[in-house]
Amino acid sequence: MTLASMARKYEPRKVTPASERVATSAMIASLAAEGYETVSAPFGHALVDAARKNDKIVGLTADLGKYTDLHIFGQEMPDRYYQMGMAEQLLMSAAAGMAREGFIPFATTYAVFAARRAYDFIAMAIAEENLPVKIVCALPGLTTGYGPSHQATEDLAIFRGLPNMVLIDPCDADDITGMVPQMIAYEGPVYARLLRGKVPSVLRRHKPDYKFQLGMAQMIREGNDVLVISTGIMTMRALDAAEVLAADGVEVAVLHCPTIKPLDLDTIAAEAAKGGRLVVTAENHTVIGGLGEAVATGLMMRGIHPAFRMIGLPDAFLEAGALPTLHDMYGLSVDKVTEQIRSWL
Protein backbone atom coordinates (compact mmCIF):
# COMPACT_ATOMS: atom_id res chain seq x y z
CA MET A 1 0.00 0.00 0.00
CA THR A 2 1.38 3.40 -0.97
CA LEU A 3 1.30 6.52 1.22
CA ALA A 4 -1.28 7.99 -1.11
CA SER A 5 -3.55 4.97 -0.81
CA MET A 6 -3.13 4.95 2.98
CA ALA A 7 -4.27 8.56 3.09
CA ARG A 8 -7.30 7.75 0.94
CA LYS A 9 -8.19 4.89 3.26
CA TYR A 10 -9.18 7.37 5.94
CA GLU A 11 -10.98 9.85 3.68
CA PRO A 12 -14.78 10.04 4.01
CA ARG A 13 -16.35 7.47 1.74
CA LYS A 14 -17.89 8.89 -1.42
CA VAL A 15 -20.95 7.00 -2.60
CA THR A 16 -21.39 6.82 -6.36
CA PRO A 17 -25.02 6.93 -7.54
CA ALA A 18 -26.24 3.55 -8.77
CA SER A 19 -26.86 4.99 -12.23
CA GLU A 20 -23.16 5.83 -12.59
CA ARG A 21 -21.68 2.58 -11.29
CA VAL A 22 -19.85 0.20 -13.64
CA ALA A 23 -19.88 -3.48 -12.75
CA THR A 24 -16.40 -4.96 -12.69
CA SER A 25 -14.36 -7.61 -10.94
CA ALA A 26 -10.87 -7.13 -9.59
CA MET A 27 -10.04 -10.79 -10.27
CA ILE A 28 -11.03 -10.86 -13.93
CA ALA A 29 -8.14 -10.00 -16.24
CA SER A 30 -10.00 -7.16 -18.01
CA LEU A 31 -7.30 -6.51 -20.57
CA ALA A 32 -9.55 -4.24 -22.64
CA ALA A 33 -8.55 -6.03 -25.82
CA GLU A 34 -11.15 -4.39 -28.03
CA GLY A 35 -11.25 -5.59 -31.60
CA TYR A 36 -9.53 -8.91 -30.94
CA GLU A 37 -11.12 -12.33 -31.14
CA THR A 38 -10.70 -14.47 -28.03
CA VAL A 39 -9.90 -18.12 -27.42
CA SER A 40 -11.37 -19.88 -24.42
CA ALA A 41 -8.81 -21.46 -22.06
CA PRO A 42 -6.02 -21.98 -24.62
CA PHE A 43 -3.63 -23.44 -22.04
CA GLY A 44 -6.05 -26.10 -20.82
CA HIS A 45 -6.95 -27.23 -24.32
CA ALA A 46 -3.34 -27.21 -25.55
CA LEU A 47 -2.27 -29.35 -22.61
CA VAL A 48 -5.06 -31.86 -23.27
CA ASP A 49 -4.03 -32.09 -26.93
CA ALA A 50 -0.41 -32.71 -25.93
CA ALA A 51 -1.30 -35.22 -23.22
CA ARG A 52 -3.28 -37.34 -25.67
CA LYS A 53 0.01 -37.91 -27.51
CA ASN A 54 2.23 -38.25 -24.44
CA ASP A 55 1.15 -40.34 -21.46
CA LYS A 56 3.97 -38.94 -19.30
CA ILE A 57 2.23 -35.55 -18.95
CA VAL A 58 0.48 -34.98 -15.61
CA GLY A 59 -1.20 -31.92 -14.13
CA LEU A 60 -1.01 -30.67 -10.55
CA THR A 61 -2.55 -27.61 -8.93
CA ALA A 62 -2.86 -26.02 -5.51
CA ASP A 63 -6.64 -25.58 -5.28
CA LEU A 64 -6.65 -23.38 -8.39
CA GLY A 65 -7.57 -25.72 -11.23
CA LYS A 66 -10.49 -23.57 -12.34
CA TYR A 67 -8.45 -20.38 -12.12
CA THR A 68 -5.51 -21.69 -14.15
CA ASP A 69 -7.64 -23.54 -16.74
CA LEU A 70 -6.11 -26.83 -15.59
CA HIS A 71 -9.61 -28.06 -14.72
CA ILE A 72 -10.09 -28.76 -18.44
CA PHE A 73 -7.18 -31.20 -18.27
CA GLY A 74 -8.67 -32.68 -15.08
CA GLN A 75 -12.03 -33.26 -16.72
CA GLU A 76 -10.48 -35.00 -19.71
CA MET A 77 -7.84 -36.97 -17.81
CA PRO A 78 -8.88 -37.31 -14.17
CA ASP A 79 -6.40 -40.13 -13.51
CA ARG A 80 -3.51 -37.79 -14.42
CA TYR A 81 -4.77 -34.76 -12.50
CA TYR A 82 -3.68 -34.07 -8.91
CA GLN A 83 -5.38 -31.58 -6.63
CA MET A 84 -2.83 -30.77 -3.92
CA GLY A 85 -4.92 -28.35 -1.88
CA MET A 86 -3.71 -24.94 -0.72
CA ALA A 87 -0.13 -26.12 -0.27
CA GLU A 88 2.17 -24.61 -2.89
CA GLN A 89 5.38 -25.94 -1.34
CA LEU A 90 3.94 -29.46 -1.41
CA LEU A 91 2.79 -28.85 -4.98
CA MET A 92 6.32 -28.09 -6.17
CA SER A 93 7.89 -30.92 -4.17
CA ALA A 94 5.38 -33.44 -5.55
CA ALA A 95 6.00 -32.18 -9.09
CA ALA A 96 9.72 -32.66 -8.57
CA GLY A 97 9.14 -36.21 -7.34
CA MET A 98 7.03 -37.04 -10.37
CA ALA A 99 9.67 -35.61 -12.68
CA ARG A 100 12.26 -37.88 -11.05
CA GLU A 101 10.02 -40.83 -11.90
CA GLY A 102 9.96 -39.91 -15.58
CA PHE A 103 6.81 -37.82 -15.79
CA ILE A 104 6.45 -34.30 -17.23
CA PRO A 105 4.52 -32.41 -14.56
CA PHE A 106 2.64 -29.18 -15.20
CA ALA A 107 2.18 -27.41 -11.86
CA THR A 108 -0.24 -24.47 -11.75
CA THR A 109 -0.98 -21.80 -9.18
CA TYR A 110 -0.93 -18.00 -8.96
CA ALA A 111 2.35 -16.35 -9.84
CA VAL A 112 2.69 -14.70 -6.43
CA PHE A 113 2.41 -18.02 -4.66
CA ALA A 114 5.06 -19.67 -6.81
CA ALA A 115 7.48 -16.75 -6.70
CA ARG A 116 7.12 -15.87 -3.03
CA ARG A 117 5.74 -18.82 -1.09
CA ALA A 118 7.32 -21.75 -2.92
CA TYR A 119 10.58 -20.25 -4.16
CA ASP A 120 12.96 -22.28 -2.01
CA PHE A 121 11.25 -25.54 -2.97
CA ILE A 122 11.42 -24.61 -6.65
CA ALA A 123 15.09 -23.68 -6.29
CA MET A 124 16.21 -26.76 -4.38
CA ALA A 125 13.89 -29.51 -5.61
CA ILE A 126 13.43 -28.43 -9.24
CA ALA A 127 15.98 -25.92 -10.55
CA GLU A 128 19.10 -27.26 -8.85
CA GLU A 129 18.25 -30.75 -10.11
CA ASN A 130 17.35 -29.38 -13.57
CA LEU A 131 14.13 -31.39 -13.60
CA PRO A 132 11.51 -31.03 -16.38
CA VAL A 133 8.83 -29.43 -14.21
CA LYS A 134 6.68 -26.88 -16.01
CA ILE A 135 5.37 -24.17 -13.67
CA VAL A 136 2.45 -22.27 -15.20
CA CYS A 137 1.11 -19.36 -13.18
CA ALA A 138 -1.94 -17.11 -13.54
CA LEU A 139 -2.35 -13.46 -12.51
CA PRO A 140 1.05 -12.23 -13.72
CA GLY A 141 1.95 -8.59 -13.14
CA LEU A 142 -1.03 -6.27 -13.08
CA THR A 143 -3.72 -8.66 -14.35
CA THR A 144 -5.71 -8.60 -11.13
CA GLY A 145 -6.99 -5.74 -9.03
CA TYR A 146 -6.75 -7.64 -5.74
CA GLY A 147 -3.73 -5.68 -4.59
CA PRO A 148 -0.21 -6.71 -3.50
CA SER A 149 -1.29 -10.10 -2.11
CA HIS A 150 -2.16 -11.28 -5.64
CA GLN A 151 -0.23 -8.97 -7.99
CA ALA A 152 2.94 -10.76 -9.13
CA THR A 153 4.82 -7.63 -10.16
CA GLU A 154 8.29 -9.03 -9.39
CA ASP A 155 8.07 -12.71 -10.37
CA LEU A 156 10.32 -12.42 -13.43
CA ALA A 157 12.99 -10.65 -11.40
CA ILE A 158 12.85 -13.40 -8.79
CA PHE A 159 13.12 -16.27 -11.27
CA ARG A 160 15.62 -14.57 -13.63
CA GLY A 161 18.27 -15.09 -10.99
CA LEU A 162 17.53 -18.80 -10.66
CA PRO A 163 19.94 -21.02 -12.64
CA ASN A 164 18.48 -23.50 -15.15
CA MET A 165 15.06 -21.80 -15.22
CA VAL A 166 13.54 -20.76 -18.56
CA LEU A 167 11.05 -17.87 -18.38
CA ILE A 168 8.12 -17.28 -20.75
CA ASP A 169 5.77 -14.28 -20.77
CA PRO A 170 3.16 -14.94 -23.50
CA CYS A 171 1.27 -12.14 -25.18
CA ASP A 172 -1.91 -13.95 -26.14
CA ALA A 173 -3.70 -17.19 -27.01
CA ASP A 174 -1.38 -17.77 -29.99
CA ASP A 175 1.68 -17.73 -27.72
CA ILE A 176 0.04 -19.94 -25.11
CA THR A 177 -1.07 -22.57 -27.61
CA GLY A 178 2.38 -22.56 -29.18
CA MET A 179 4.41 -22.59 -25.99
CA VAL A 180 2.90 -25.76 -24.46
CA PRO A 181 4.45 -28.33 -26.87
CA GLN A 182 7.78 -26.49 -26.80
CA MET A 183 7.78 -26.49 -23.00
CA ILE A 184 7.23 -30.24 -23.12
CA ALA A 185 10.07 -30.73 -25.59
CA TYR A 186 12.47 -28.67 -23.45
CA GLU A 187 14.21 -31.02 -21.01
CA GLY A 188 14.63 -28.63 -18.06
CA PRO A 189 12.39 -26.52 -15.81
CA VAL A 190 10.22 -23.74 -17.23
CA TYR A 191 8.28 -20.93 -15.57
CA ALA A 192 5.50 -19.49 -17.72
CA ARG A 193 3.14 -16.65 -16.97
CA LEU A 194 -0.45 -17.47 -17.88
CA LEU A 195 -3.41 -15.56 -19.28
CA ARG A 196 -6.52 -17.58 -18.58
CA GLY A 197 -10.19 -17.65 -19.47
CA LYS A 198 -11.08 -15.86 -22.69
CA VAL A 199 -7.68 -14.84 -24.02
CA PRO A 200 -7.32 -12.48 -26.99
CA SER A 201 -5.68 -13.64 -30.22
CA VAL A 202 -3.40 -10.72 -31.06
CA LEU A 203 -0.20 -11.69 -32.83
CA ARG A 204 -1.64 -13.47 -35.86
CA ARG A 205 -3.87 -10.52 -36.58
CA HIS A 206 -0.75 -8.40 -37.04
CA LYS A 207 1.49 -11.18 -38.41
CA PRO A 208 -0.59 -14.04 -39.87
CA ASP A 209 2.35 -16.45 -40.04
CA TYR A 210 3.39 -15.91 -36.40
CA LYS A 211 4.43 -19.01 -34.47
CA PHE A 212 5.84 -19.07 -30.95
CA GLN A 213 9.50 -20.08 -30.86
CA LEU A 214 11.14 -20.73 -27.52
CA GLY A 215 14.09 -18.38 -26.98
CA MET A 216 13.34 -16.27 -30.05
CA ALA A 217 12.21 -12.65 -30.44
CA GLN A 218 10.13 -11.81 -33.50
CA MET A 219 9.39 -8.54 -35.27
CA ILE A 220 5.63 -8.13 -35.41
CA ARG A 221 5.50 -4.63 -36.91
CA GLU A 222 8.14 -2.59 -38.72
CA GLY A 223 8.78 1.12 -38.14
CA ASN A 224 11.57 3.68 -38.60
CA ASP A 225 11.03 6.09 -35.69
CA VAL A 226 10.64 3.96 -32.54
CA LEU A 227 11.57 0.38 -31.66
CA VAL A 228 9.43 -1.09 -28.87
CA ILE A 229 10.87 -4.28 -27.38
CA SER A 230 7.99 -5.84 -25.49
CA THR A 231 6.79 -8.96 -23.76
CA GLY A 232 3.52 -10.37 -22.43
CA ILE A 233 0.38 -8.27 -22.73
CA MET A 234 2.50 -5.20 -23.37
CA THR A 235 3.12 -6.40 -26.92
CA MET A 236 -0.62 -6.05 -27.46
CA ARG A 237 -0.52 -2.58 -25.93
CA ALA A 238 2.50 -1.61 -28.05
CA LEU A 239 0.82 -2.78 -31.26
CA ASP A 240 -2.34 -0.84 -30.46
CA ALA A 241 -0.32 2.26 -29.53
CA ALA A 242 1.63 1.92 -32.78
CA GLU A 243 -1.60 2.17 -34.76
CA VAL A 244 -2.57 5.33 -32.88
CA LEU A 245 0.84 6.91 -33.41
CA ALA A 246 0.81 5.98 -37.10
CA ALA A 247 -2.05 8.43 -37.53
CA ASP A 248 0.37 11.14 -36.36
CA GLY A 249 3.02 10.02 -38.82
CA VAL A 250 5.13 8.21 -36.20
CA GLU A 251 6.35 4.77 -37.29
CA VAL A 252 6.67 2.31 -34.41
CA ALA A 253 8.30 -1.09 -34.78
CA VAL A 254 7.31 -3.78 -32.27
CA LEU A 255 9.72 -6.60 -31.41
CA HIS A 256 7.99 -9.27 -29.34
CA CYS A 257 10.09 -11.19 -26.78
CA PRO A 258 7.95 -13.95 -25.28
CA THR A 259 11.01 -15.65 -23.77
CA ILE A 260 12.67 -13.56 -21.05
CA LYS A 261 15.32 -16.17 -20.24
CA PRO A 262 17.17 -17.04 -22.37
CA LEU A 263 16.73 -13.62 -23.96
CA ASP A 264 17.28 -13.35 -27.71
CA LEU A 265 19.95 -10.66 -27.47
CA ASP A 266 21.21 -11.33 -30.99
CA THR A 267 17.92 -10.20 -32.53
CA ILE A 268 17.47 -7.38 -30.02
CA ALA A 269 20.97 -6.04 -30.61
CA ALA A 270 20.63 -6.26 -34.39
CA GLU A 271 17.45 -4.19 -34.31
CA ALA A 272 18.68 -1.68 -31.72
CA ALA A 273 21.94 -1.18 -33.66
CA LYS A 274 20.18 0.00 -36.81
CA GLY A 275 20.33 3.53 -35.39
CA GLY A 276 18.06 6.55 -35.54
CA ARG A 277 15.27 4.97 -33.49
CA LEU A 278 14.24 5.54 -29.91
CA VAL A 279 14.37 2.16 -28.15
CA VAL A 280 11.60 1.51 -25.60
CA THR A 281 11.05 -1.63 -23.53
CA ALA A 282 7.52 -2.45 -22.37
CA GLU A 283 6.60 -5.03 -19.75
CA ASN A 284 3.81 -5.90 -17.33
CA HIS A 285 6.33 -6.15 -14.50
CA THR A 286 8.30 -3.89 -12.21
CA VAL A 287 11.08 -1.96 -13.94
CA ILE A 288 13.42 -3.61 -11.42
CA GLY A 289 14.94 -6.84 -12.70
CA GLY A 290 12.74 -7.53 -15.71
CA LEU A 291 12.91 -7.18 -19.48
CA GLY A 292 13.99 -3.53 -19.46
CA GLU A 293 17.07 -4.08 -17.31
CA ALA A 294 17.96 -7.26 -19.21
CA VAL A 295 17.81 -5.44 -22.56
CA ALA A 296 19.71 -2.39 -21.27
CA THR A 297 22.49 -4.56 -19.84
CA GLY A 298 22.72 -6.67 -22.97
CA LEU A 299 22.96 -3.65 -25.28
CA MET A 300 25.54 -1.92 -23.11
CA MET A 301 27.70 -5.06 -22.96
CA ARG A 302 27.66 -5.15 -26.76
CA GLY A 303 28.58 -1.48 -27.10
CA ILE A 304 25.16 -0.41 -28.43
CA HIS A 305 23.89 2.84 -26.89
CA PRO A 306 20.59 4.03 -28.39
CA ALA A 307 18.26 6.58 -26.80
CA PHE A 308 16.52 4.27 -24.33
CA ARG A 309 13.35 4.39 -22.21
CA MET A 310 11.37 1.84 -20.16
CA ILE A 311 7.63 1.31 -19.74
CA GLY A 312 6.81 -0.87 -16.75
CA LEU A 313 5.39 -0.93 -13.27
CA PRO A 314 6.94 1.17 -10.52
CA ASP A 315 9.10 -0.18 -7.70
CA ALA A 316 6.15 -0.15 -5.29
CA PHE A 317 3.30 -2.21 -3.91
CA LEU A 318 0.39 -1.40 -6.19
CA GLU A 319 -3.14 -0.46 -5.31
CA ALA A 320 -6.30 -2.53 -5.60
CA GLY A 321 -9.17 -1.70 -7.90
CA ALA A 322 -10.65 -2.22 -11.35
CA LEU A 323 -8.02 -3.13 -13.93
CA PRO A 324 -8.81 -0.42 -16.50
CA THR A 325 -8.32 2.19 -13.77
CA LEU A 326 -5.10 0.58 -12.55
CA HIS A 327 -3.67 0.23 -16.06
CA ASP A 328 -4.24 3.95 -16.60
CA MET A 329 -2.78 4.75 -13.19
CA TYR A 330 0.40 2.76 -13.77
CA GLY A 331 0.93 3.52 -17.45
CA LEU A 332 -0.01 0.19 -19.04
CA SER A 333 -3.10 1.26 -21.00
CA VAL A 334 -2.93 2.01 -24.72
CA ASP A 335 -3.54 5.71 -24.05
CA LYS A 336 -0.74 5.90 -21.49
CA VAL A 337 1.71 3.93 -23.62
CA THR A 338 0.95 6.26 -26.51
CA GLU A 339 1.40 9.34 -24.31
CA GLN A 340 4.73 8.14 -22.97
CA ILE A 341 6.19 7.35 -26.38
CA ARG A 342 4.96 10.65 -27.82
CA SER A 343 6.52 12.58 -24.92
CA TRP A 344 9.95 11.01 -25.57
CA LEU A 345 10.11 11.92 -29.25
Query: Are the CB atoms for 202 and 229 separated by under 8 Å?
Result: no
Could you say which of 11, 88, 283, 339 is catalytic? 88
DSSP letters of 8-62? HHTSPPPPPPGGG-----SSS-----TT--EEE-HHHHHHHHHHHH-TTEEEEES
For 232, residues 6+ apart whose C-beta sits below 8 A from its C-beta are: 140, 141, 169, 170, 171, 193, 258, 283, 284, 285
Peptide bond into 78 cis (omega under 30): no
- Strands in 278-286's sheet, in edge-to-edge order, are 218-221, 252-256, 226-230, 278-286, 308-313
**88 tagged catalytic:** yes
CA distance 74 to 69: 9
Residues catalogued as catalytic: 88
